[in-house]
């Protein structure tokens, strides 16, 4: 959508070059991007393998059984499958159904878009793509790409098309030099970003890690307050690209969204790659929700639990012993033992309350009967295209469509200033803060890794670490030894 907007509004060509398309993940969607450009080039003899979309899950149930690890989780409901790899050895029927459904929707969307851009019949393009793999020259002969050449060739081609005096410029340099056009009016549309896992707190800027981003609820809520108090801001575009996270943090952000609306500022959500679980929670009350056809959204549900690794550690001479004062539930999230029946019942009740609250918020925000939302929920992931048909999304489009919608809702015409509100997203926090593990738990895990350097104990720790760090859609996730999110 952004490519097409650039070509239509800027009246400028986009040239794409690939050194190979390989059969992994969303390769068909990658081809869709190439097809949306003015010309799509590939390196000679490179691989064109855009033959479909693939997804692979690794299941740990038998591994856990073998080494004495208990995955104790509650899900609401059968489609909330983020923790299924720890509970089962294969896809459940609901897990398989949901995954194939959204994959099929993304595949159809990519093919339809690519066919329109390549001016081909969708059925014929499907047949040609799935008949692969091809080398670049074969892909060109079949009309799948435009030209074959090296990177230097397409660079020379672009410079020639640009005319005398043109030069190559890295995108980062271009972006740093670009300035928005001056707008005489003081009226503005505020843009607030929420990209990454949703967590409570604020970004202190002290993280030693790089790579991923988080959505800090204090920072996003403050950005909404600032936009609400700014007299120039007439509406807000809330750009959401999040797989979920803390229900507590999500509720704080949603409250800030509603407060801005109460202050007379319409809010339009523009969904990115995904806006699922907590990402949908914070979007649910927007005046309008705009998603891309392939956006992964919904996942209206909750999961939580812990890993009980006492038996696993005992096999290597490490014993865990709990002490507590107060109620029995105070030790529910110890890492040594699984839940007692009473603890499980109380924890399940907590999950039920979070799920019921999620349903209520979506029903109110989307003006849908709660019974209808319960049918659409159950933790199921939908694409933007599917969500629009179900009433979970209002329109299909991207950022520019969201800005235009915000202008319309605010009854603003003509050019308007875009004001980016800093919501404070940043890379990972410090490891101990992100994991939230207690000192005792950390020492227990360290002891297991130390025992004789046994590779089996290290394998258990590696899996536990992956489980803790796994970024999966979840309205609530309870990690190992303490209830959070």
Between CA 169 and CA 157 the distance in angstroms is 15
Between CA 239 and CA 271 the distance in angstroms is 6
Distances (CA, A) of 80 to 263, 284, 387: 35, 18, 17
User: Token pair of 132, please?
Assistant: 């692969």
| Helix-helix angle 399-409:2-10, to 10 degrees | 70
Which SS3 state, helix, strand or coil, does residue 148 take?
A: strand
For residue 4, indicate whether it is catalytic.
Answer: no
DSSP 169-238: --HHHHHHH--PPP-SS--EEEEEEEESEEESS---S-----S--EEEHHHHHHHHHHHHH-TTEEEEEE
Query: Does residue 303 contact residue 476 with C-beta atoms inside 8 Å?
Result: yes
Query: Does residue 296 contact residue 381 with C-beta atoms inside 8 Å?
Result: yes
Query: Does residue 103 contact residue 385 with C-beta atoms inside 8 Å?
Result: no
Q: Label residue 411 left, alpha or beta by phi (over 0 means left) and psi (-120 to 50 means alpha).
A: left
Which SS3 state, helix, strand or coil, does residue 362 take?
A: helix
Q: Which of 47, 70, 80, 250 is catalytic?
A: 80
Query: Does residue 344 contact residue 391 with C-beta atoms inside 8 Å?
Result: no
Dihedral of the alpha carbons of 254, 259, 263, 266, in degrees to the nearest 10:
10
Between CA 32 and CA 30 the distance in angstroms is 5
- Which residue in the block uniquely carries the two structure tokens 């297991």? 448
Query: Does residue 241 contact residue 279 with C-beta atoms inside 8 Å?
Result: yes
Query: Does residue 418 contact residue 424 with C-beta atoms inside 8 Å?
Result: no
Query: Does residue 301 contact residue 358 with C-beta atoms inside 8 Å?
Result: yes
Between CA 354 and CA 360 the distance in angstroms is 10
For residue 80, indicate whether it is catalytic.
Answer: yes
Which SS3 state, helix, strand or coil, does residue 50 take?
A: coil
Residues present in the chain in total: 485
CB-count burial class (<10 Å; 0-12, 13-18, 19+) for 386: buried
Q: Which of 277, 294, 299, 441 is catalytic?
A: 277
For 263-376, list the strands marked E by DSSP.
Answer: 267-276, 288-291, 296-298, 302-308
Give the residue numbers marked as catalytic. Answer: 80, 277
């Amino acid at each position: 959508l952004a490519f097409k907007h650039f070509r239509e509004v800027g009246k400028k060509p986009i040239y794409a070059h690939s050194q190979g398309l390989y059969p992994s993940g969303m390769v068909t969607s990658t081809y869709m991007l190439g097809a949306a450009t003015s010309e799509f080039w590939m390196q000679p003899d490179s691989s064109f393998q855009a033959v479909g979309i693939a997804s692979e899950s690794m299941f740990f149930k038998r591994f856990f059984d073998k080494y004495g690890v208990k995955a104790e989780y509650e899900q609401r409901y059968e489609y909330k499958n983020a923790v299924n790899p720890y509970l089962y050895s294969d896809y459940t029927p609901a897990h398989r159904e949901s995954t194939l459904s959204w994959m099929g929707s993304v595949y159809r969307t990519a093919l339809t878009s690519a066919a329109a851009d390549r001016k081909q019949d969708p059925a014929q393009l499907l047949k040609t793509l799935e008949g692969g793999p091809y080398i670049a020259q074969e892909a060109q002969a079949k009309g799948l790409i435009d030209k074959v050449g090296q990177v230097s060739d397409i660079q020379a081609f672009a410079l020639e098309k640009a005319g005398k005096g043109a030069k190559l410029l890295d995108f980062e340099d271009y972006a740093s030099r670009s300035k928005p056009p001056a707008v005489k009016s003081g009226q503005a549309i505020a843009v607030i970003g929420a990209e990454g896992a949703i967590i409570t707190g604020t970004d202190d800027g002290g993280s030693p890690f790089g790579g991923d981003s988080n959505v800090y609820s204090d920072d996003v809520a403050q950005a909404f307050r600032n936009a609400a108090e700014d007299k120039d801001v007439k509406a807000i575009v809330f750009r959401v690209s999040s797989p979920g996270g803390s229900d507590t943090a999500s509720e704080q952000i949603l409250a800030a969204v509603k407060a801005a609306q109460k202050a007379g500022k319409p809010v339009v959500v523009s969904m990115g790659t995904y806006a699922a679980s907590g990402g949908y929670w914070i979007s649910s009350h927007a005046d309008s929700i705009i998603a891309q056809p392939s956006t992964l959204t919904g996942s209206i549900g909750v999961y939580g639990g812990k890993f009980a690794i006492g038996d696993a550690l005992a096999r290597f001479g490490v014993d865990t012993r709990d002490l507590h004062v107060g109620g029995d539930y105070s030790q529910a999230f110890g890492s040594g033992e699984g839940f007692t029946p009473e603890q499980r019942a109380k924890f399940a009740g907590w999950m039920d309350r979070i799920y019921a609250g999620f349903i209520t918020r979506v029903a109110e925000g989307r003006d849908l009967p709660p019974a209808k939302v319960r049918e659409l929920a159950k933790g199921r992931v939908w694409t933007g295209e599917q969500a629009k048909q179900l009433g979970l999304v209002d329109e299909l489009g991207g950022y520019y469509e969201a800005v235009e919608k915000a202008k319309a809702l605010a009854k603003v015409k003509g050019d308007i200033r875009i004001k980016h509100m800093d919501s404070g997203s940043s890379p990972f926090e410090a490891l101990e803060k992100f994991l939230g593990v207690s000192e005792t738990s950390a020492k227990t895990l360290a002891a297991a890794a130390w025992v004789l350097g046994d590779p089996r104990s290290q394998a258990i720790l590696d899996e536990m670490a992956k489980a803790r760090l796994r970024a999966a859609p979840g309205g609530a996730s309870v990690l190992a030894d303490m209830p959070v999110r």
